[in-house]
Amino acid sequence: MSFSVKQAVELLNQGIPVGMPTETVYGLAARIDLPESIKKIFLIKKRPFFDPLIVHVSNVNQAKTLSKEWSIICDELAKKFWPGPLTLVLKKSEQVNELISSGLETVGIRHPNHPLAQQLIEEVGCPLAAPSANRFGRTSPTTAQDVLEELGDQGIQTLDGGKCSVGIESTVLSVNLVLTQKSTSQQWQLRILRPGLITKKDIDGVLQKIGNYSWADQEAGSTLSSPGQMKHHYMPAIPLILVPEHMSEKQLALYVQQRLDQIPREFEGVKLHVPRKIEKIVELKLSEQAEIAARELYANLRKLAATKADIIYFRLFKSYQLDVWQALRDRLEKAASLKFTD
Ligand code: TXA
Ligand code: MG
């Protein structure tokens, strides 16, 4: 018999983390009021304690209990995008254990749009902290089977909610109250810490009518790092190489062969299998429609990593530079070991 919500609730109440489906990627969930259980999440994932966790709620009222600075900005964003793939990073309340926020003053909060996640949080009656359910630095899981492959050896049980409909992690948005002597009303500063399906433009579309906010200085298209936003992340077990659109496989094999020494065997603690000789190469293919490509990305990467090829490559086609690809660009570039440019 498959693992039920009732069984998942029992485990969570005993302080044992469980795999939880969401619309973005699968998470490894634990009750936020059981610090030992939160600690287990870090140990199971081999995640450094400086990388904070996102807290998942089943409604806005629950979200409000987690933050000291819930504002009209948050109300509007939640009204439009929740439940959905938007995480709000806000000043935290006392309810949030410092293990969750890695000692920061803020906490990431999200209301996931998946019926099983919502049911689970409701039945537990407590928000759930959940990072993606992969070993640290690796490709995020988008099916229950992926979680089994990532964390099954640690005895993790997972609620099977099918394939994730979004496929890449939520947009992480920091909403920060700025106090200036001149200002008589509250001013908010926004910053995208991790791009996702919901873009800056989408957010502006909702907030422009309110107006008391600005975007933190940020280079166009770039993202400022948040703790744990490493340069390399989401990596498949074999090297992923980004190549110009028209490079032939033959050219590519030669090129990579000459540069094998440049591919580190380990990135920020994540081990990578680098071959001695390039014999088998496989292409990562994605839909040209960004939303569909997002759904395919991690599943395809996993499939290709399992073929035991020496390297995976991805062609940087023209529209790759367009805004709609920003979140995918972020994931692909962090997953890649090498990038060739024309
Ligand atoms: O879609 C998602 O967000 C998935 C699903 C499971 O909800 N979760 C997820 O969690 O991707 P995780 O832990 O893999 O990534 C969370 C990211 C990390 O880069 C972390 O540094 C950032 O969010 N983050 C969390 N809390 C933060 C905070 N208080 N300040 C800044 N960044 C924060
Ligand atoms: Mg993750």
Residue 187 CB less than 6 A away from ligand 1: no
**Pairwise CA distance, residues 16 & 36, whole Å:** 9
How many Å lie between the centroid of ligand 2 and the Cα of residue 15? 21
How many Å lie between the centroid of ligand 2 and the Cα of residue 225? 14
Higher pLDDT, 259 or 135: 135
pLDDT band at 228 (very low <50, low <70, confident <90, very high): low
* pLDDT for residue 7 is more than 80: yes
- The H or E element containing residue 283 is strand 281-283
Higher pLDDT, 299 or 231: 299
**Pairwise CA distance, residues 151 & 209, whole Å:** 45
Higher pLDDT, 264 or 152: 152
pLDDT band at 220 (very low <50, low <70, confident <90, very high): very low
How many Å lie between the centroid of ligand 2 and the Cα of residue 166? 15
- The H or E element containing residue 305 is helix 290-305
How many Å lie between the centroid of ligand 2 and the Cα of residue 11? 22
How many Å lie between the centroid of ligand 1 and the Cα of residue 96? 15
How many Å lie between the centroid of ligand 1 and the Cα of residue 131? 6
Q: How far is CA 159 from CA 27, 64, 156, 314, in A?
A: 10, 27, 10, 32
> 164: which 2 tokens?
């994730």
Tens-digit pLDDT profile for residues 267-313: 877 888 888 899 999 999 999 999 999 999 999 999 999 998 999 99
Across 4-13, average pLDDT: 98
Q: Beta strands 213-215 and 27-31: pairing type?
A: unpaired
Higher pLDDT, 273 or 217: 273
CB atoms within 5 A of ion ligand 2 belong to 132
In the prediction, which pLDDT does 261 show?
A: 86
pTM for this one? 0.94
The crossing angle, in degrees rounded to 10, of helices 115-124 and 5-13 is 40
* pLDDT for residue 58 is more than 70: yes
Residue 196 CB less than 6 A away from ligand 1: no
How many Å lie between the centroid of ligand 1 and the Cα of residue 104? 13
Across 8-13, average pLDDT: 98
* pLDDT for residue 211 is more than 70: yes
- C-beta of residue 77 within 8 angstroms of C-beta of residue 207: yes
Least confident of 114-118, 175-179, 294-298: 175-179
The residue whose two tokens read 């902290």 is 129
The crossing angle, in degrees rounded to 10, of helices 290-305 and 144-151 is 40
Atom of ligand 1 nearest to the CA of 168: 1
By CB neighbour count within 10 A (0-12 exposed, 13-18 middle, 19+ buried), where does 183 fall? exposed
Across 213-233, average pLDDT: 65
How many Å lie between the centroid of ligand 2 and the Cα of residue 26? 10
**Pairwise CA distance, residues 70 & 186, whole Å:** 12
Atom of ligand 1 nearest to the CA of 134: 14
Residue 108 CB less than 6 A away from ligand 1: yes
- Testing ligand 1's pocket by substitution, the residue of 87, 90, 135 carrying the most ligand atoms inside 8 A of its CB is 87
Residue 323 CB less than 6 A away from ligand 1: no
How many Å lie between the centroid of ligand 2 and the Cα of residue 134? 7
* pLDDT for residue 38 is more than 50: yes
Report which of 151, 125, 144 is spatially closest to residue 47, judged by C-alpha positions: 151
Across 179-190, average pLDDT: 79
Residue 198 CB less than 6 A away from ligand 1: no
* pLDDT for residue 179 is more than 80: no
Residue 25 CB less than 6 A away from ligand 1: yes
**Pairwise CA distance, residues 342 & 324, whole Å:** 22
Residue 98 CB less than 6 A away from ligand 1: no
- Testing ligand 1's pocket by substitution, the residue of 172, 198, 233 carrying the most ligand atoms inside 8 A of its CB is 172
Residue of the CA atom closest to atom 3 of ligand 1: 170
Residue 135 CB less than 6 A away from ligand 1: no
**What mean pLDDT is reported for the chain?**
92
